[in-house]
């Protein structure tokens, strides 16, 4: 994410404050080693098992894992008629995955590769990409992962802070603290997570919404109730965060239209 999105060096709008310029096309590709073993399961089968994975960083997109064809269960692949063309990579051909018992369990067009790539992306030859969402489970070494494979260039840091944080909705104060946990995440603004004792819990209603971040974990959401007014999914927390966000466990972060967060008297987005 840090390389290809927002103002990363491979994004469409790289930073200006540098003493260098990156030449070449505006749409950039970078193919780098992924440092750990990765496995993918579908229908009870291990369809991908690789210690030689590569991540493709591409302007405007999250990184994608590509593995050598020999690290796939090619006996489970069925060639399809689908082809797509990318001006930067070439024409991709697709395969579906069917479980070995030839049941009705099929992941349609879940694998693609560029066997005749453009000259500038010739290093893609012989590699395959598997659609993350089409698989039943993914493992980074022996840990199951959600969301998508982590980018080694992306990080999360949590620091204890003494900044004065005040959260309001109109004239109602929802939270106020001088002991927030400040969470910095690559490519995103700082977020302020507030201890539950410093939050007006009577204003929060549990929501059915949950989201998954591969760097922080699974977030649980709350709506804010202000009399007859309700702001849906206005706050969230991580009850059981991943290791890099552990210090923010159970702390509440507010982020929604209609909610204002001020830090040391200044509004933050």
Q: Which tokens in the block code for residue 181?
A: 């946990």
**What share of the chain has pLDDT > 70, as a percent?**
99
Is residue 245 within 8 A of residue 154, CB to CB? The reply is no
Domains 29-145 and 156-268 share a fold: yes
**Mean pLDDT of all residues in 94-111:** 88
pLDDT at 23: 80
The domain limits of the chain are 29-145, 156-268
pLDDT at 191: 98
**Distance in angstroms (rounded) separating the CA atoms of residues 81 and 112:** 12
Going by pLDDT thresholds of 50, 70 and 90, the confidence category of residue 10 is confident
Whether domain 156-268 has CATH 2.170.150.40: yes
pLDDT at 102: 58
**What share of the chain has pLDDT > 90, as a percent?**
84
Average per-residue pLDDT for the chain = 94
Adjacency order of strands within the sheet including 64-68: 29-33, 54-58, 64-68, 127-130, 106-113, 90-98, 77-86
Q: Which of 29, 85, 37 is nearest to 60 (CA)?
A: 29
CATH homologous superfamily for the domain 29-145: Domain of unknown function (DUF427) (2.170.150.40)
Going by pLDDT thresholds of 50, 70 and 90, the confidence category of residue 103 is low
Going by pLDDT thresholds of 50, 70 and 90, the confidence category of residue 258 is very high
Weakest-pLDDT range from 31-45, 96-110, 175-189, 227-241: 96-110
HEC letters along 94-129: EEEEECCCCCCCEEEEEEEECCCECHHHHHHCCEEE
Weakest-pLDDT range from 7-21, 89-103, 228-242: 7-21
Going by pLDDT thresholds of 50, 70 and 90, the confidence category of residue 1 is low
User: Model confidence over 123-177: pLDDT tens digits?
Assistant: 999 999 999 999 999 999 999 998 889 998 999 999 999 999 999 999 999 999 9
Going by pLDDT thresholds of 50, 70 and 90, the confidence category of residue 24 is confident
**Distance in angstroms (rounded) separating the CA atoms of residues 250 and 188:** 21
User: Model confidence over 182-238: pLDDT tens digits?
Assistant: 999 998 999 999 999 999 999 999 999 999 999 999 999 999 999 889 999 999 999
């Amino acid at each position: 994410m840090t390389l290809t999105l927002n103002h990363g060096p491979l994004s469409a709008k790289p930073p200006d404050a540098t003493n260098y310029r990156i030449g070449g096309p505006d749409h950039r590709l970078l193919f780098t080693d992924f440092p750990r073993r990765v496995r993918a399961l579908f229908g009870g089968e291990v369809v991908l098992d690789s210690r030689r994975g590569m991540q493709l960083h591409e302007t405007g997109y999250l990184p994608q894992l590509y593995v050598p064809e020999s690290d796939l269960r090619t006996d489970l692949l069925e060639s399809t008629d689908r082809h797509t063309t990318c001006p930067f990579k070439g024409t991709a051909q697709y395969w579906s995955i069917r479980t070995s018992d030839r049941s009705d369990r099929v992941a349609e067009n879940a694998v693609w590769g560029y066997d005749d790539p453009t000259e500038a992306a010739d290093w893609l030859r012989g590699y395959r990409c598997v659609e993350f969402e089409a698989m039943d489970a993914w493992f980074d070494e022996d840990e199951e992962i959600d969301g998508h494979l982590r980018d080694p260039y992306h990080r999360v840091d949590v620091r204890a802070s003494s900044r004065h944080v005040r959260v309001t909705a109109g004239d109602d104060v929802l939270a106020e603290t001088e002991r927030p946990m400040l969470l910095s995440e690559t490519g995103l603004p700082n977020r302020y997570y507030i201890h539950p004792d410093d939050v007006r819990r009577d204003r929060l209603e549990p929501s059915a919404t949950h989201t998954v971040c591969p760097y922080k974990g699974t977030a649980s959401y709350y709506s804010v109730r202000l009399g007859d007014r309700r702001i849906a999914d206005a706050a969230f927390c991580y009850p059981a965060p991943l290791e890099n966000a552990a210090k923010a466990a159970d702390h509440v972060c507010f982020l929604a239209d209609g909610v204002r967060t001020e830090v040391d008297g200044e509004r933050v987005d």
